[in-house]
């Protein structure tokens, strides 16, 4: 059985198990926060816009009360072909300790010249931030091996995981057209993975993960969401629902690894 996992109209139907959801904290809305970036010879306007947006999200975290030890975990890319350059994707700016941006809306953006005669790209956003109470567990990690960066359509996708501690895994795929849950699925039920052991994917011999695209090339993101307890994703499979689901779990209970892969026709 093949599953075309990187296109709309996907064949995967995720299994759902009723498990307590580990909500980590409260949501806080912040408004009119600004990010900016210099447009230079090395930075195109579209890339400056992308960086300014990320800076606005970092500022949203600060405004919401998150401490200064913020880092950025972006899920962004630019799709380029001879006819156009498309900057498109959701991004997840997160803090390993106390907060994550789970939703945002751009309310204003502009280019201007500053006092040093440099062009600046500015972005203002309204954002929703989840404030966490607990810190990330540094010993709760997941290694992912044998995942290639480039694939030719159609091609088979496979990889290996090695958790440092016992836990449960959910794998999501995000693309320009949306998101899906790759694992668990109808043929591969959720299981408890033992720490310091290697596991091959797909888990079922009756199933292949097949990557394909109708475009010249396409970039997708694999999110490996590893948790101490079994937590089912039961919402509609959209990018925002997936990112909100991940962000809502307490940092001490999870590990998130993300990888970009390119599929060429």
User: Are the CB atoms for 61 and 128 separated by under 8 Å?
Assistant: no
Highest mean pLDDT among 96-110, 134-148, 159-173, 204-218: 159-173
| Shared domain check, 62 and 10 | no
Mean pLDDT of 15-22: 40
Please report, rounded to a whole number, the percentage of residues in the chain having pLDDT higher than 90. Answer: 43
| Shared domain check, 206 and 181 | yes
C-alpha to C-alpha distance for 46 and 158, rounded to whole angstroms: 33
Which two structure tokens, joined as six digits, stand for 178? 């949306």
Q: What is the per-residue pLDDT for 78?
A: 52
| Shared domain check, 257 and 148 | yes
Among 21-30, 60-69, 182-191, where is mean pLDDT lowest?
Answer: 21-30
Domain count, the chain: 2
| Shared domain check, 12 and 53 | no
> Mean pLDDT for the chain?
81
- Residue with more model confidence, 156 or 22: 156
| Shared domain check, 92 and 71 | yes
Q: What is the per-residue pLDDT for 5?
A: 41
Among 21-25, 137-141, 150-154, 175-179, where is mean pLDDT lowest?
Answer: 21-25
- Residue with more model confidence, 95 or 166: 166
Query: 10 Å Cβ neighbour count for 3?
Result: 20
| Shared domain check, 179 and 83 | no
Q: What is the CATH number of the domain that holds 79?
A: 3.30.1660
Q: Give the pLDDT band of residue 83 (cuts 50, 70, 90).
A: very low
Please report, rounded to a whole number, the percentage of residues in the chain having pLDDT higher than 70. Answer: 78
List the one residue out of 261, 256, 262 whose CA is nearest residue 73. Answer: 256
Q: Give the pLDDT band of residue 225 (cuts 50, 70, 90).
A: very high
| Shared domain check, 242 and 161 | yes
| Shared domain check, 260 and 150 | yes
What is the extent of the structural domain holding 74? 25-132
| Shared domain check, 144 and 16 | yes
Q: What is the per-residue pLDDT for 1?
A: 25
Beta strands 199-201; 159-163: pairing state? antiparallel
Q: Give the pLDDT band of residue 236 (cuts 50, 70, 90).
A: very high
Decide which of 132, 147, 175 is a domain's last residue: 132
User: Are the CB atoms for 94 and 73 separated by under 8 Å?
Assistant: yes
| Shared domain check, 243 and 147 | yes
Mean pLDDT of 60-88: 59
């Amino acid at each position: 059985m093949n599953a075309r996992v990187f296109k709309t109209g996907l064949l995967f139907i995720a299994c759902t198990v009723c498990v307590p959801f580990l909500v980590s904290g409260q949501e806080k809305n912040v408004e009119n926060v600004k990010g900016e970036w210099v447009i230079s010879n090395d930075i195109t306007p579209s890339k400056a816009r992308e960086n300014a947006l990320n800076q606005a999200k970092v500022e949203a975290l600060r405004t919401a009360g998150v401490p200064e030890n913020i880092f950025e975990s972006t899920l962004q890319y630019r799709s380029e072909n001879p006819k156009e350059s498309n900057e498109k994707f959701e991004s997840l700016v997160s803090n390993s300790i106390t907060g994550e941006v789970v939703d945002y809306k751009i309310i204003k953006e502009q280019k201007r010249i500053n006092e040093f005669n440099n062009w600046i790209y500015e972005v203002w956003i309204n954002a929703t931030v989840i404030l966490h109470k607990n810190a990330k567990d540094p010993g709760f990690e997941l290694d992912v091996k044998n995942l290639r960066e480039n694939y030719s359509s159609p091609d088979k996708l496979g990889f290996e995981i090695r958790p440092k501690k016992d836990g449960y895994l959910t794998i999501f795929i995000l693309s320009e057209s949306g998101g899906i849950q790759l694992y668990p699925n109808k043929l591969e039920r959720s299981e408890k993975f033992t720490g310091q052991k290697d596991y091959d994917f797909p888990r079922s011999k009756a199933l292949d993960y097949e990557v394909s695209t109708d475009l010249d090339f396409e970039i997708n993101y694999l999110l490996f969401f590893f948790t101490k307890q079994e937590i089912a994703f039961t919402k509609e499979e959209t990018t925002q629902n997936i990112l909100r689901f991940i962000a809502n779990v307490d940092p001490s209970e999870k590990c998130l690894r993300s990888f970009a892969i390119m599929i060429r026709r």
